[in-house]
Structure 1
Amino acid sequence: MSIIGEAILTASVDLLVNKLASEGIRLFARQEQIQADLKKWKNMLVMIKAVLADAEEKKTTDQSVKLWLGELQNLAYDVEDLLDEFQTEVFRRKLLLGNGEPAAALDQPSSSRTRTSKFRKLIPTCCTTFAPQSIQFDYAIMSKIKEINGRFQEIVTQKDSLGLNVSSGGRTIKDRQRRETTSLVKEAKVYGRETEKKDVVELLLRDDLSNDGEFSVIPIIGMGGLGKTTLAQLVYNDKQVQDHFDLKAWTCVSDDFDVFRLTKTILISIVPDQNVDNHNLNKLQEELKKKLSGKIFLLVLDDVWNENYNDWDRLRPPFEAGAPGSKIIVTARNQEVAAIMGTVRAYQLK
C-alpha cells in the first residue's frame, strides 16, 4: 500500500475542504448563488476521503481503482484551480468597491480618485457582478462548475461500483478486524533493520532514561508499512533484552484503546494461568500492580492510535509499581501518540 500516495491525496482533499469553508469562498458563493454546488462538493470530498486508505491498498491489484485514483487527483487539481479563480475574483471585486485601488485608478488625479471611491461605496456588493468583466467571468465559471459537478458525480458513482470500504483512523473496517499482532517474528525473513534494532535495544538497556525512577516510554513512530511492529518484535525477542527484564508482555492495541481490555490482556500475558474473568477494572489493576511490583518489566503496546490523554492516564497506574529501568515500547503512526505517551524522544522509523 502506498502510504505516501494516500497522504498526498488526503492532504489535497483536506486542502479543498478547508478552502471551501473559507470566508472568501463562502462570500463569493453567496454572490453567485452557488452555495448548493460548493456544499455538494464538500460533502462528496468527505465521502471520498473516507475510502482513500482502502483505494490505495487495492490499486496494486485492481487497475480500475488505480485509474479512479488518477481521475480523483486530476479532479482535485482542477477544483483547487477553480477555487483560486474564485478568490482572485473576490479580490478584484473588493478593489472595484473601493477596498483597494486598481492600478488604472492610480493614474487619475487624487480628487478624481476620491470622488470615484466615494461613488463606489454607494454601489451594493451584488451590483458589481453586472460589470462586463464580471458577467464574462460568471459565464465562464458556470460552465466549469457544471463540468466539475459531472466529474464529481462520476467519481462517487465509480467509488460505489468499485466496492471501496470506509476507513476509520486511516484504516478500513476490514483492516481492523484482521489486524492482530503477536511478539513472534521470523528473523530469517527480516532484512535491513540491524541498525534500528541495535539503537532500540540500547535504549531498553539504559538505566538513565527516567529522571524520576519511573518507567520510560519509548515511542517508535513511522508511516504504515515501514516495519514498526517488526522492529518491536525483533527487539522483544533479542537475547540481551530477554536476560535484562524480569517480566515481558506484548499487547496489540489497535484503535480500540479499551482500558479494561488492555489491562486484562497485559495481566494474562504476564500470568497466563490466572483466572481473571470475573474481575472488574479495579481488581485487574490491583492484580497487575502486584505482579509488576519491584520487577523490571518490558511492555510493548503495538499499533496505538489513541490520542486521548485521559485513556492513557487510566491505563498507566499499575506500571508505576515496576522497578526503575522498566520500559514500555509504543508503536504508532501519529506524532500525537508519542506526545501523549512518550517520556523520551520518539524513535522515528524511515
Structure 2
Amino acid sequence: MAEAVLEVVLHNLNSLIQKKLALFLGFDQDFKSLSSLLTTIKATLEDAEEKQFTDKAIKDWLLKLKDAVHVLDDILDECATQSLEMEYKGLSHKVQSSFVSSFHPKHVAFRYKIAKKMKSIRERLNEIAEERSKFHLIEMVKEKRDGVIDWRQTTSIISQPQVFGRDGDRDKMVDILVNGASGFEDLSVYPIVGLGGLGKTTLAQLIFNHESVVKHFDLRMWVCVSDDFSIKRMTRSIIEAATKKSCDDLDLEPLQRKLQRSIKWHKLKSLLACGGKGASVLVTTRLEKVAEIMGTIPPFEVSKLSDVDCWELFKQRAFGPNEVEQDELVVIGKEILKKCGGVPLAAIALGSLLRFKREVNEWHYVKESKLWSLQDEDYVMPTLRLSYLNLPVKLRQCFAFCALFIKDERISKKFLIELWMANGLVSSNEMLDEEDIGNGVWNELYLRSFFQDIETDIFGKITSFKMHDLLI
C-alpha cells in the first residue's frame, strides 16, 4: 500500500503548493523539491510492490518509504491547520500580500518548528531515494482506460458468469441426493471437498438450485458456517433460512424450540439430531478431516477444470461476448492459463485482470511476473496478488477498506459505498457525484472478481454481496 499512501500525500503536497500556502508559510521550494522527488519514486513503485514478495530488501525499503511518507503527511497536516487558523483570524490575505508579514512574530515559532521537521524528513527521503537505485526498479506506465466503462451504467456491466465443466459433477450429486441412499437414512451428510478456489460453493449452488432437487425436497435451506463457529448463531441462521424471517432470540434453548417448530422435525442430529426420512445435508470444506468426520458417505472431491473448460472461463472474462479475439493475445493467454492449474478462481481472476489490457507487452508482463515463482502448489494466491497490484491506486484503497468486514459476512453494497464516501475514498468530479463514482468502483472490483455471491432486489438491482474467503 506504499503507492496508495504516497499518492494521497503527493495530492496534499501539490494542493498546498497550488493554493500558495507553501509560499505563504515560507516552504515553497522545499515542497516543490519534495513533490518532484516523490513523483520520481512513485514511477517505480508498481514494480517494487510486485517484487517485494520475492525480495525482502525491497519489502523493507517500501516499509521505510511508507513510514517516511506518513511523517511528511503529518507535517502537511500541521501546515494546513496553521493556514486555516490564520485564515479564520483574518491574517491569511494580509500575510500572502506581504513578504515581510510572513515573518510576523506570531508565526516565527511555528515556522522554526516546521523547518526542523522539513529538514529531517527531506534528508530521510533523499536517503530512501538513493537506496532505491540499487534495486534496478523499472518505471511503469499505469494503464489508461478513460471511457472504457461508463460508471453511470451500473446494471449493464453486471452479469452472472457462466459455469463451465461442472455439469457432470452436478448431475452425479443430484442423482445421489434424489435417488440415492438419502431416502433410506434419517439424515445423510454429503461432503464436497477441494482446494480453495476450485468452485465447491459454485457446485453446491448448482445442486441446491437444480430443478430435481427443488421438486424433491419440501424445504431447502442455505446456511453459511464461518470459522468462528457458534451453535447459537448457526441455529439462528437455520431458523432464518427456514422461515425467511429475522430471528432475534438470544438464548440457545428458545432458539432450538423455535427451530423444531419451524422445521417440524423431532430433532436434528446433535442439534440437528434426526430429521425425516430422506433429509440431507450438503457440506463444502477444504479439509478432508472435516469431511470424514461429518460425512455419512465418502466425500466427493471436486476436480480441477480441463484445459478446454479453463480456457472458456478465462476467455469469457478476458474478452467478453462480443470482442474479436486477437491471435497474439490468444497465444499468450493460453500460456498464462497454464499457471492456473485448472483452478476456476485463478482463471476468472486472470481473465478479469487482462480484460483491461489490450497491448501484447502488457500480457507478456503478466506472463513473466516473478509472482509466479511463489506458486508452490497454490495456483490462486499469485493470481490474486497480481490482480490486486494491477488495480488503480484508488481502487486498491477502497478494496483494502473491506478488510473491516469479517469472513462470510454479507455486505450491503449501498452501505459500503457510503463508508467509502464518508472516509474520503471516493469523491465527485465534474461529471459524476460521489455515489456514481462509488458505484463505478464497486462495479470494477466486481468485474475483477474481488466481489461475488451477489443478491438483487425485485428490480434486478444489486443489494448485497460477499468477498471470497481467500481474500479476507
* TM-score normalised by length of structure 1: 0.48
Greater RCO (Cα-Cα under 8 Å, separation 6 or more) = 1
